[in-house]
Structure 1
Amino acid sequence: METPPVKLKYPIAALVGALCLAGAGTTVAQEAAPAARRATAAIQAPKLLVVIAVDQLSADLFAEYRGRFRGGLARLATGVVFPSAYQAHGATETCPGHSTILTGSHPARTGVVANNYFDLSVARADKRVYCAEDETVPDTSSGSGKYAPSVKHLLVPTLGDLMKARDPQAQVVSVAGKDRAAIMMGGHRADETLWLAPTGLTSYRGKALSPTAERAATVIAAAINQPRGPLTLPAECAAQDIAIPLANGASVGTGRMARDAGDFRRFLASPEADGAVLATAAALRQARRMGQGSGTDLLIIGLSATDYVGHGTGTEGSEMCLQLAGLDRELGDFLARLDATGMNYAVVLTADHGGHDLPERNRQNAWPDAQRIDTALDPEALGNEVAEKLGLPQPLLHGEGGDYYLSKALTAAQRKAALAEILPRLRAHPQVEMVATRDELAAHPISRRAPDMWSVMDRLRASFHPDRSGDFIVALKPRVTPIAEPGVGYVATHGSVWDYDRRVPMIFWRKDLAGFEQPNAVMTVDIMPTLAALIGLPVDAGAIDGRCLDLVSGPDSSCQQ
């Protein structure tokens, strides 16, 4: 018996009704088009490009749930589907991943090497630099809520920047659950760059919200300040409703996403947050009449709830099942509203990175070797131990993720002695796959092969930037979770060089586009030149890492300009 569609209702649905006057609330069926008409439509410039990034939607999750989708994700999956695309680089974190999607470039070129890196030359005491901040602003730090959001660390233009350069009247709007998603995809010249906040929405550099964004913020804030009862678990999620006990005494796997009034963190970790972003995007598109002018506009949407759920409860529990069912429904409602306008629009959906489940559940589910990282690999702990042994100044090491930075206070001789002590220790550790120094990485060319053929060194090189990366980079072995102890909202993560973190779905959809499946490896850096070709925007192939993907099945090509 076929499983019925999952219908999940969230308070945030009122936002669409309050702000968007056109459209329906259910997915509109698409008419079949003759092959000749499909081919013709496929090479005509769309009036609106919609770029959707679903944070932590791995290729594994997409494959696992694909047969359950009934809404927007099911619709998009009738298009051109690359089920095994790659965030090809090794630093599979949110900021680097988002930086690739609309620049056509690996982090080695975008300069966005990690969510956080260390610049030991900055004037402030906090040497950690957040990827989407301006660390030169006085009285700021990289701590959450204490930094000045900025796009300054993105060293290359985005698709929106190039569209604006060609046509200043082109509209670019970026809305996301996270600031780094909105900023890295929105680029340097977006008309509006917005993300969720406890007050509903906030904007780039404190810019005043537009009237539509202000109304959206009011409705979202009201929703956040209302309690939410537990969601009903669909029957198709029952097999994943298994409690996984953690060392801290808590458990995950059986959650229903209930929350207290004002609990912003739990609001973010639910389909309610994605609904808020999609409804805001729909309202801004309508207010600005995007896609209804003489040129092409760009609407960018960053959906972050899947990532928050993955971090907080893992990828295989009831919580993720609820999240993906809700995401599917909310996307369906959003696409139906675009359909109601009758405009010619194109959609691409992908992810900034993948993710893997928490080790406690992996050990129950046929992977007994899944581990949490050894605290001996912590940069501060390792640095202090080596500094005491060699009589070197402290702090000796700074680091987060895989990048380790040596103190700038060291003499050349001290630096050599420190590396001679540290590198062998790390390379001998049973949880370490590889340690690559900055000299080794700088000498290694960026691979031009298909990303599924890349070595670990190739992956690390694509994330290396000489001005921002560490003195050496550590890659952990597969299924080693870089969280030593599970905490509230943080039990699982991503960021490794392995394919469960690198592989993501990549889908292109247009109403009259004949869909096909291409399982061969492509990359998220291919998105920008592919979309640029659709709108006849020239791109310097030597200035990017991606290539145009032909979306037309047949003798015609969408890559002709």
Structure 2
Amino acid sequence: MRAGRVLFLVLGTSILLTCSRKPESPRLVVFLVLDQCRPDVITRYEPLYRDGFRWLLDHSLTCTQVFHQHGYTATGPGHFTLSTGSYPGPAGILGNNWWSRTLRRTVYCVEDTQALLLGGEGPGRSYRNTSTPALGDWLQAQYPDAKVVSVAGKDRASIFLGGRRPDVCIWYNWDGHFVTSNYYADSIPDWLARFNSTSHIETYRDSMWTKSLPDSVYLKYARDDFFPGEVDSYRKDPYSPVFPIGFDHGDPPEKALKMIGGTPWLDRLTLQAAEAAIQGERLGADDSPDLLFLSLSGVDWMIHYFGPYSQEVMDSQIKLDKELGHFFRTLDTVVGLDRVLVVQTADHGGLPLPEYLSQVRGQAAGRINAPLRKAVTRALNEDLQRRTGIENLVTVEGPGLYIDHPRLEETTVPLEEIKDVIRSYYEKIPGIGRILFLEDLLAATPSDTLEWYLKHTMNEQGPDAWALEKRNWVWKYPFGTGHGSPYSYDRKVPLRWARSQFSRSEYAAEIHTIDLAPTLAAYLGVTPPDSVDGVVRDEIVSFLKGD
């Protein structure tokens, strides 16, 4: 771990950090991640909060300049970095998915063909694709009696937060159950079996998502309900992405179990599962600090569908304010809120709908045409086949292009020629800014800026070429919005350290998400491994301790 200390001075102005009284060490740390939560997704609606978000904002140190340092800002790499303090690429996490040169197929970041799912149906999942120890592993090495529990909507979120061997690691299987795998346990806990049997998630297919507040309030804080570019999944003929939102009656019942992620109900269920875990695992019941990782995945899905400035996302935050309030009251009843530290952040940011940026803000923005890209890739491979005699020499996975080196080496065609052809085809696609090559990314220095961030999502097995989108362009086509770029709007995230003893404070110096896990570890009296890429922010530790 690199040593580091940041002064309490930014642009010559001291930062005010206040704590009402010196707090006792927490019995429970809640590490709360809101998936795809740009900082303004929370703060834009602050005047409307009355419950959970109100408590979180009023009792926290808010770090206002927080950035991921990896360039492929996806869910898997983001959650991995938050819990390990390490860059994802060198640890083997190249994205949510990547092309395996050894297996010659796409690999999902938490797939595990050796594991079996417990508690429901689905493919095996685990932490087996990386050996990097995470915060929970460090904690239990120092405090053997400490419990580590991870709960999320997405499997990759729960798994990467939980680390190597959490006591409990559960996620939603998109089929009506919260599940785990036999990598973690021989059977699901009794409390989880009860939760699954009494949640009746299938009944949500008859529910209707309606607004919590009068229309006039939404027009004040969000844009028009009907906006081009939104995904329309309910009564979509004609195109009408507006409230109310439900599930079409003609759809099979199991579709609602999958599509629930695009509503506020998934995050409600995830919080309820976390409450069951707190009570079932007796978290915070002794003086060994326990750790609850909690990732709310529905936020991400709804922003993908409707964009961060939509009335749907606004309403989801109003509803989440109430659900978080219930969750915090459960913490107060079971543990005592004065013995809990809540750390709230996000795995990545995101971009507004390109249509919003162009029509409302007058900015150049757009979508990379997926059918066009597919056609260009086909033409590229046909050209390469004429040159090399090899069919499908290049495989595409996400923004990455992988060259089949073993087959290429059987020819006399130089690699540089292949790269030139890739560049000539792909840089003609509207929305593609540059084609970057792996050897250049691995050699990048901080002065290279975007390449430097992308370097941290790469290793020697990474894609040979990377299609870097232009600023304000997204891969989502033809509807919705996305993330995944090295631009600041995708890398900037919120960070709050909240306790009931804290008064509202701000920290304006830049902090990196790789610093979060080592800083939290230091506060808990745990020494992070020397291998982590982040640093301990001593001034934040001092604030948390009330020094």
| SS of residue paired to 1:84 | strand
Please show how residues 305-454 of structure 1 align to structure 2 within 5 Å: 305-340=298-333, 341-342=335-336, 344-367=339-362, 369-375=364-370, 376-378=372-374, 380-381=377-378, 383-408=380-405, 409-411=407-409, 413-414=412-413, 415-427=415-427, 431-445=431-445, 447=446
Letter in 1 for 2:500: K
* Residue aligned with 1:328, SS: helix
In 2, Cα distance between equivalents of 1:558 and 1:366: 40
In structure 1, the residue corresponding to 2:54 is in which secondary structure? Answer: helix
Aligned 1:75-474 pairs, distance under 5 A = 75-78=55-58, 79-122=60-103, 127-134=105-112, 147-197=123-173, 198-205=175-182, 207=185, 208-222=187-201, 224=203, 226-235=205-214, 236-238=217-219, 239-245=222-228, 251=239, 253-259=241-247, 262=254, 263-340=256-333, 341-342=335-336, 344-367=339-362, 369-375=364-370, 376-378=372-374, 380-381=377-378, 383-408=380-405, 409-411=407-409, 413-414=412-413, 415-427=415-427, 431-445=431-445, 447=446, 455-467=449-461, 469-474=462-467
Rounded to whole Å, the distance in 2 between the matches of 1:422 and 1:454 is: 22
Task: Write the distance in 2 (CA, Å) between the matches of 1:496 and 1:51.
Answer: 25
Counterparts of 1:511 and 1:57, CA distance in 2: 23
Q: Match of 2:258, SS?
A: helix
Higher relative contact order (CA 8 A, sep 6+): 2
- Aligned mate of 1:55, from 10, 13, 35: 35
Letter in 1 for 2:22: T
Change in CA separation of 1:36 and 1:428 when aligned onto 2, cut-off 3 Å? closer
Q: Which residue of 1 aligns with 2:3?
A: none
**1:337 Cα offset (Å):** 1.4
Question: Using the alignment, how far apart are the partners of 1:287 and 1:443 within structure 2?
Answer: 49
**Distance in 1 between residues matched to 2:52 and 2:379, nearest whole Å:** 48
Q: Structure 1 regions of 5+ residues with no counterpart?
A: 1-34, 448-452
CA 36–87 in structure 1, closer or farther in 2 if over 3 Å, else same: closer
**Aligned pair 1:548/2:537, yes or no?**
yes
Structure 2 residue aligned with 1:492 = 481
Secondary structure of 1:551's counterpart equals: helix
CA pair 146-286 structure 1, distance change in 2 beyond 3 A: closer
SS in 2 for 1:45: coil
Q: TM (normalized to structure 2)?
A: 0.84
- Aligned match of 2:509: 520
Shift of the 391–110 alpha-carbon distance from structure 1 to 2, 3 Å rule, reads closer
Between the aligned residues of both structures, percent identity stands at 26
CA distance in 2, matches of 1:557, 1:300: 22
Residue number in structure 2 paired with 1:40: 22
1:71 and 2:78 are equivalent in the alignment: no
Secondary structure in structure 2 of the residue aligned to 1:387: helix
User: 2:22·2:546 contact (CA, 8 Å) conserved in 1?
Assistant: no
Aligned counterparts of 1:339 and 1:399: Cα–Cα separation in 2: 49
Distance 1:183 1:401 in 2: 22
Return the alpha-carbon distance in structure 2 between the equivalents of residues 254 and 546 of structure 1. 45
Question: Separation in 1 of the partners of 2:115 and 2:101?
Answer: 16
How far the C-alpha of 1:233 sits from its partner, in A, is 4.5
Instruction: State the number of aligned residues.
Output: 503
Contact 1:129/1:135 (CA < 8 Å) preserved in 2?
A: no
